[in-house]
Amino acid sequence: MYRYDEFDRTLVLERARQFRNQVARRQSGEITEDQFKPLRLMNGVYLQLHAYMLRINIPYGTLSSRQMRTLAHVARTYDKGYGHFTTRQNIQYNWPTLEEIPEILEVLAEAEMHGIQSSGNCIRNVTADQYGGVVAEEVEDPRVWSELVRQWSTLHPEFSFLPRKFKIAVTGSPSDRAAVKVHDIGLRAHKNAEGKIGFEIIVGGGLGRTPYIGKTIAEFMPAEHLLSYLEAILRVYNRYGRRDNKYKARIKILVDDIGIEEYRRQADEEWESLKDGALTVPQEEVERIRAYFAPPAYETLPARDSGYEAKLFEDAEFRAWAKVAITAHRQPGYAIVDISLKPIGGIPGDASADQMDALADLADEYSLSELRVAHEQNLVLPNVRQSDLYALWQKLKAHDLATANIGLISDVIACPGMDYCALATARSIPVAQRLSKHFASLEKQHDIGRLHVNISGCINACAHHHVGHIGILGVDKRGEEFYQITIGGRADEFAKLGDRVGPAVSYDRVIDAIDVIVNTYLKLRQPGEKFIATVERLGIGPFKEAFAEENLDAAA
Amino acid sequence: MAEQIVTANRLNDGIVVYFAGDARWVADINEARLCPAGKDAGEALLAEAKTGSYQATAVDPYLMDVVRDAEGRLEPTKYREKIRTLGPSVRLDLGKQVWGPKGHAA
Ligand code: SF4
């Protein structure tokens, strides 16, 4: 698995040392908060409602068991015994003291992790499909290209002061798990008729205040031209992106303003001078990076394990879990296992230090020492032998990590919201918890089937509420928490923004509102039809009507 | 009637603090200096809080509204500030809500 090369290690340790010095100068009063703030943000240090928050990158969501142990150690030693996995494949610590953060950064640097570039108007950490390199349907390993893009963008002199932050996501599979259509740039690797690898390049997607689904600027950009074309896209943005208004500064606004054809024309023009130049991706470089991501030492196994299949037959509880938690692996006899960080009534994405340690041990025992972080705020053991699944499941259960709700209504994506976040307008976690408790019955959840609920505590949309099958946005209405509800959004390869079903509802009524939506679906669905399919077939009308009938916006 | 106090986060650990006058910042909201009545008084209090070496203690001070509850204790009017005085509503074992009186860990 990938390890930093020497350049990065020196850089990261150097940055931790610099930050120690900056903290000391801030504490002594030598520099003011205004001077210090950009420095701490560059190191992933935010000030939240109750304390500082430290955000650590997990590039393309890949973690070794050793790194997971380091994360557990940090949670236990410097924080309050837990960490929060976010929708950007990061981990956040909610209680570090400023004094101790430089030391934490050094500890993390030893395990090749850092918070650099997790903030600021630069190219942020590149995200990739969490199943990169292991999923059966994959065309190309997205991590190789994410890494190439990361190396190109890290401390890129021209793009350190973009009009606004810039997020890139990469997938190499037909099913999009990386939400590439709602990123500033999304890359989808695919093959052309000759079997050559290239990229569909999607630009101008994004959520937040003005959500857009990205538009395709290139259907098939041959792999060797990827960086030069990205450079061309970024140059156009850097030149014309609006620096005068931070709400209009993202690339999505520029793409919308001038239109995708014009954007393409300008990027192509810029590309003239870049094409076949220094940014042409050498095949050797791709192979060098690919070697880092070489598959681990898999055993040769039969495609189907009879012991596993027998257990599926015998044990209904195991079967229910396996149905949602397991995805087909490209290596015969292996499976990808999703681990829910959404116990019923729990805080989405939170994991205790003990759970992190347990997962590191389980990764060593069952997953060739590897873990992944999914943007759904869940974790993944990517390399489990089918014959080990039953034993693994039993151990996960003992650590409260085997809730059989992956992809179901209680697998809620929720941002920290007003419980922690200084920018929030309303709470999101308690809404997720109430929802999860309301639909606690796994039988009921499995009957409802695949249904993604996303809850953001403000318009910044960290929980991607616009693309939730059911999206919930917390707003402040005359000093009270209210929630706007949309349905029909989706973040996959058919990405779409949801539509409002009615006026915002109060904190007390929000679960009733979800109940109305779910019941309307259950009443109207055809046999086997998923929630999103029913909404797409019938439109939002019947849901709006049901919503209006219940008078959900009336004062409770 | 709402009155005003000045709040900020403590530099070293980010803990919520309140301006108590005389360059002092305290963790207990009930020791906060209340803004005297009168137009522009809030701004004056904020200006006072932002003098001297406040930067070494308090990050980004601002004014917030409080009212007195039945026992005469100060209580924020906005739920954001209520959460700040207590801690996360979803982790009752964390934040100020587990502190004893006088702002010490219970
Ligand atoms: S969506 Fe808003 S409230 Fe939620 S984490 Fe992002 S900024 Fe904070």
Most confident of A144-158, A466-480, B35-49: A466-480
Taking CB atoms and an 8 Å limit, are A347 and B90 in contact across chains?
yes
Half-sphere exposure of B37 (CA within 13 A, CB side): 2
Looking at residue A117, the DSSP 8-state letter turns out to be: T
> pLDDT tens digits for B51-93?
888 888 899 999 999 999 999 899 999 999 999 999 999 999 9
Position A489 pLDDT exceeds 50: yes
Position A2 pLDDT exceeds 60: no
Q: Parse chain B into domains and list their residue ranges.
A: 3-99
- Closest by CA to A341, choosing from A403, A288, A255, A407, is A403
Average pLDDT over residues A318-332: 97
Q: What is the pLDDT at residue B106? A: 40
Q: What is the pLDDT at residue A46? A: 95
Q: Which of residues 18 through 47 in chain A touch B, CB cutoff 8 A? A: 26-29, 32-33, 47
Position B105 pLDDT exceeds 50: no
Pairwise CA distance, residues A176 & A26, whole Å:
44
Task: Report chain B residues whose CB lies below 8 A from the CB of A101.
Answer: none
Q: Answer for the pair A312, A318: CB distance below 8 angstroms, yes or no.
A: yes
- Look at residue A60 and give its three-state secondary structure: helix
Q: What is the pLDDT at residue A89? A: 84
Task: Report chain A residues whose CB lies below 8 A from the CB of B96.
Answer: 50
Ligand 1 atom with minimal separation from the A461 CA: 1
Average pLDDT over residues A514-521: 97
Average pLDDT over residues B42-58: 90
Average pLDDT value over all residues in chain A: 94
Q: What is the pLDDT at residue A468? A: 97
Output the CA torsion A134→A136→A138→A141 (10° steps). 20
For domain A413-550, the CATH class is: alpha beta
Q: What is the pLDDT at residue A270? A: 96
Q: Answer for the pair A94, A80: CB distance below 8 angstroms, yes or no.
A: yes
Pairwise CA distance, residues B97 & B89, whole Å:
9
Helix or strand (DSSP H, E) at A34? helix A33-42
Position B1 pLDDT exceeds 80: no
Task: Report chain A residues whose CB lies below 8 A from the CB of B95.
Answer: 50
Q: Which amino acid is located at A306 in the chain?
A: S
- Closest by CA to A484, choosing from A492, A495, A468, A496, is A468
Could you give the C-alpha distances from A321 to A130, A343, A375, A402, A445, in angstroms and in order?
Answer: 19, 13, 20, 7, 12
CATH architecture of A6-110: Alpha-Beta Complex (3.90)
% of chain A at pLDDT higher than 90? 84
CA of A458 to the centre of ligand 1 (A): 5
Could you give the C-alpha distances from A181 to A23, A47, A178, A364, B29, in angstroms and in order?
Answer: 39, 30, 9, 35, 46
Going through A10-163 in order, the beta strands assigned E by DSSP cover 45-47, 52-57, 62-64, 82-85, 90-93, 127-128
Q: Answer for the pair A357, A67: CB distance below 8 angstroms, yes or no.
A: no
> pLDDT tens digits for A430-469?
999 999 999 999 999 999 999 999 999 999 999 999 999 9
Position A493 pLDDT exceeds 50: yes
Q: Which of residues 50 through 79 in chain A touch B, CB cutoff 8 A? A: 50-52
Using a 6 Å CB cutoff, which residues line ligand 1?
Answer: A 415-417, 421, 423-424, 456-458, 460-462
Q: What kind of fold does domain A134-292 have according to CATH?
A: Sulfite Reductase Hemoprotein; domain 1 (3.30.413)
> pLDDT tens digits for A364-422?
999 999 999 998 999 999 999 999 999 999 999 999 999 999 999 999 999 999 999 99
Ligand 1 atom with minimal separation from the A418 CA: 3
| Residues whose CB falls within 8 Å of the CB of residue A57, separated by 6 or more in sequence, listed in order | A44, A90, A113, A114, A115, A116, A117, A118, A125
Q: What are phi and psi of B41, to 5 degrees?
A: -65, -35
Q: Strand pairing partners for B6?
A: B63
Q: Do domains A6-110 and A306-398 have the same CATH topology?
A: yes
Q: What is the pLDDT at residue A10? A: 82
Where residue A7 falls among pLDDT bands split at 50, 70, 90?
low
Edge-to-edge strand list for the sheet holding A197-203 = A127-128, A168-171, A185-191, A197-203, A215-222
CB atoms within 10 A of CB B46: 17
- Closest by CA to A84, choosing from A514, A428, A483, A481, is A428
Pairwise CA distance, residues A130 & A124, whole Å:
17
% of chain A at pLDDT higher than 70? 97
Which one is the CATH code of A306-398: 3.30.1740.10, 3.20.20.80, 3.40.50.720, 3.90.480.20? 3.90.480.20
Position A184 pLDDT exceeds 70: yes
Q: What is the pLDDT at residue A174? A: 95
Q: What are phi and psi of A144, to 5 degrees?
A: -60, -45
Ligand 1 atom with minimal separation from the A458 CA: 2
From A347, A415, A454, A465, mutation site for ligand 1 pocket: most ligand atoms within 8 A of C-beta = A415
Q: Answer for the pair A124, A165: CB distance below 8 angstroms, yes or no.
A: yes
Classify burial at A214, counting beta carbons within 10 Å of its beta carbon; exposed 0-12, middle 13-18, buried 19 or more: buried
Q: Answer for the pair A228, A221: CB distance below 8 angstroms, yes or no.
A: no
Q: What is the pTM of this model?
A: 0.94
Q: Answer for the pair A464, A491: CB distance below 8 angstroms, yes or no.
A: yes
Q: What is the pLDDT at residue A6? A: 46
Q: Answer for the pair A499, A517: CB distance below 8 angstroms, yes or no.
A: no
Pairwise CA distance, residues A410 & A405, whole Å:
6
> pLDDT tens digits for A35-92?
999 999 989 999 999 999 999 988 788 899 999 999 999 999 999 999 999 988 899 9
Sign of dihedral through CA atoms B63, B67, B72, B73? Answer: negative
Q: Which of residues 421 through 450 in chain A touch B, CB cutoff 8 A? A: 424, 427, 429-430, 433
Q: Strand pairing partners for A470?
A: A453, A487
The beta-carbon neighbor of B90 closest among A48, A99, A419 is: A419
Ligand 1 atom with minimal separation from the A457 CA: 3
Taking CB atoms and an 8 Å limit, are B55 and A347 in contact across chains?
no
Q: In chain B, what are the helix, strand and coil shares in percent, each to the nearest 5?
A: 25, 30, 40
Q: Answer for the pair A57, A125: CB distance below 8 angstroms, yes or no.
A: yes
> pLDDT tens digits for A409-434?
999 999 999 999 999 999 999 999 99
Alpha carbon of B3: minimum distance to chain A alpha carbons (Å): 17
Alpha carbon of B26: minimum distance to chain A alpha carbons (Å): 14
Pairwise CA distance, residues B18 & B24, whole Å:
8
Q: What is the pLDDT at residue B53? A: 84
Q: Parse chain A into domains and list their residue ranges.
A: 6-110, 134-292, 306-398, 413-550
CA of A207 to the centre of ligand 1 (A): 12
Position B103 pLDDT exceeds 70: no
Position A214 pLDDT exceeds 80: yes
Q: What is the pLDDT at residue B101? A: 56
Pairwise CA distance, residues A535 & A506, whole Å:
24
Alpha carbon of B88: minimum distance to chain A alpha carbons (Å): 5
Taking CB atoms and an 8 Å limit, are A418 and B83 in contact across chains?
yes
Q: Which amino acid is located at A136 in the chain?
A: A
Where residue A555 falls among pLDDT bands split at 50, 70, 90?
low
Output the CA torsion A407→A411→A416→A419 (10° steps). 160
Helix or strand (DSSP H, E) at A371? strand A370-374
Q: Answer for the pair A121, A62: CB distance below 8 angstroms, yes or no.
A: no
**Exposed e or buried b per residue across A142-169, where buried means at least 16 C-beta atoms within 10 angstroms of its C-beta:** bbbbbbbbbbbbbeeeebeebbbbbbbb
Q: What is the ipTM of this complex?
A: 0.93
Pairwise CA distance, residues B68 & B70, whole Å:
7
Pairwise CA distance, residues A527 & A529, whole Å:
6
Taking CB atoms and an 8 Å limit, are A418 and B80 in contact across chains?
yes
Going through chain B in order, the beta strands assigned E by DSSP cover 3-10, 16-21, 24-26, 58-68, 74-76
Q: What is the pLDDT at residue A280? A: 94
- Closest by CA to A251, choosing from A124, A165, A179, A180, is A165
Taking CB atoms and an 8 Å limit, are B55 and A481 in contact across chains?
no
Average pLDDT over residues A156-164: 84
